[in-house]
Amino acid sequence: MREYDIVVIGGGLAGLMAAAAATKRGKKVTLLSLGSGTLTIGGGIVDVMGYLEGGIPAATPSAGLLQVGEGHPYKKIGRPAIEESIRFFKEICEQEGYSYIGNLDKTQWIPTAAGTLKPTCLVPKTMDTTELKKADKVTVLGFDALKDFYPSLIAKNFKKIPAFAQKEYEVVMVDPKLSEGRDVTALDVARWLDTEEGLASCIEKMRNVIDSGSVVIIPPVLGTRPDYAVKEKLEKALGCHFIETASVPPSITGLRLRTMLVRYLKKNGVRIVEQAIVAKSIVEDGKCVAVITEGVDRERTYYAKSFILANGGFYGGGLLAEPGKVIEPIFNLPVEAPTDHELWANYSLFSSEAQPFAKLGLDVDEKMRPLDANGKVLLNNVYVAGRNLRGYDFSFEKSGNGVAIASGYQAAMSV
């Protein structure tokens, strides 16, 4: 019977990081994934802790970590492991030629496509705002026919931000000549820049509208591959600085990050099974022996010494909501939730409070092992990571990828 050291369930950032940390420790890993995770939807940057309760911005991610409540995953993981996990993540990026900048002691406020600023911790070099902050004059560059990126809106809204109000803004457009066929997304423009002809043509067009030395805000279009080739070639040819904004799905920065991490795992011998619908587990004497996938044809059994459960929350299918209760379908682990499900939601849409449903999830010990209501470890060789953990609303506090990286790493290091 084929037995692996670790089976990781879930191919999102938590699962990918868990697999990466496990393989780094010399473990034989199988990763079971369903769909391609949420990285391509919005995950190219790493938020660690942006807002505290009450919607107050954390001074730095570090300061935010000190102020999270008792039940928060960061509290379980602890500061040293969080720091190590961030270091490990950056190490992989560096090694793969797509390094990320930032650290826990500094909040990076990055521009969004709506002309607002969003707090985060780690970003790819294409989102480095150093030059933007220094510049007196900023060029906002859009592409004809590109949906969801309106340079004049960005310029107008930047004027309302105190730190950006004194700057002068210029709006320019480049026509990528992509109007034939379907609607144009940032992905189409990025793919155009992936090609040598597209890049050369874009440089020519940009030359006509931007001056050398400009600081240029653009949508996330600097190539789909996890490297900085497009950025470097553009900047060298035009003598400008380009800064990508955070934008709507599909997320080009998230696509790059996922491509890079999957490539890293495969290079390091992780066996990845796509379309694996993990449905149940075999548990004997408080230990999981195997998990079972339910294909359209038949069940398949995956044996391992340890298991990392990183299959997401309500959206990813790791947690299922039913009236008055929450179910964790693979191990049937307990999830504490108000029986009156009216209490799950905060009905005030833009309130300064987190959503109660977002905080529902699995309780774990410091090693990320699942606990029962009395704080007793339920399964000795099962570790939980990512969105199925209880105690945090990633969307409200801006902590999603930070928790994914830290908990995935901690789970793999605890095995």
Taking the complex as a whole, how short is the minimal distance between the CB of residue 289 and another protein, in angstroms? 15
Tell me the two tokens of residue 6. 């670790």
The stretch among 76-84, 179-187, 211-219, 349-357 that binds another protein (CB under 8 A) is: 179-187
**From candidates 181, 342, 350, 373, binder to another protein by CB under 8 A:** 181
The stretch among 112-120, 182-190, 212-220, 332-340 that binds another protein (CB under 8 A) is: 182-190
Q: How many angstroms separate the CA atoms of 393 and 388, rounded? A: 11
Q: How many angstroms separate the CA atoms of 318 and 316, rounded? A: 6
Tell me the two tokens of residue 354. 């987190």
List, in sequence order, the alpha helices (H) in 210-354: 229-238, 252-267
Tell me the two tokens of residue 51. 């807002």
**From candidates 5, 24, 28, 41, binder to another protein by CB under 8 A:** 41
Burial readout 268-291 (b: 16 or more C-beta within 10 A, e: otherwise): eebbbbeebbbebbebeeeebbbb
Angle between helices 79-95 and 13-24 (to 10 degrees): 80
Kindly write out the interface string for residues 191-230 of this chain, putting x where it contacts another protein by CB under 8 A and - elsewhere: x---------------------------------------
Taking the complex as a whole, how short is the minimal distance between the CB of residue 39 and another protein, in angstroms? 9
User: E-assigned strands of 248-346?
Assistant: 271-273, 278-284, 287-294, 299-309, 320-322, 325-327
Of 78 and 317, nearer to another protein (C-beta) is 317
DSSP letter at 10 equals -
**From candidates 6, 18, 34, 117, binder to another protein by CB under 8 A:** 34
Q: How many angstroms separate the CA atoms of 62 and 329, rounded? A: 35
Taking the complex as a whole, how short is the minimal distance between the CB of residue 219 and another protein, in angstroms? 15
40 binds another protein (CB under 8 A): yes
The stretch among 45-53, 59-67, 163-171, 265-273 that binds another protein (CB under 8 A) is: 265-273
Whether residue 178 contacts residue 186, with contact meaning beta carbons closer than 8 Å, is answered with no
Taking the complex as a whole, how short is the minimal distance between the CB of residue 403 and another protein, in angstroms? 18
**From candidates 276, 288, 362, 413, binder to another protein by CB under 8 A:** 276
Determine how many CB atoms are found less than 10 A away from the CB of residue 114: 17
Total of residues contacting another protein (CB under 8 A):
43
Taking the complex as a whole, how short is the minimal distance between the CB of residue 262 and another protein, in angstroms? 9
Q: How far from chain centre, in Å, is Cα 10? A: 14
Q: What are the residues whose beta carbons fall under 8 Å from the beta carbon of 4, sequence distance 6 or more?
A: 28, 29, 30, 271, 302, 303, 304, 305
**From candidates 275, 332, 352, 380, binder to another protein by CB under 8 A:** 275
Kindly write out the interface string for residues 306-345 of this chain, putting x where it contacts another protein by CB under 8 A and - elsewhere: ------x--xxx----------------------------
Binding site for another protein (CB under 8 A): 1-2, 30, 34-38, 40-41, 178, 180-183, 185, 187-188, 191, 249-250, 255, 263, 266, 271-277, 279, 293-298, 300, 312, 315-317
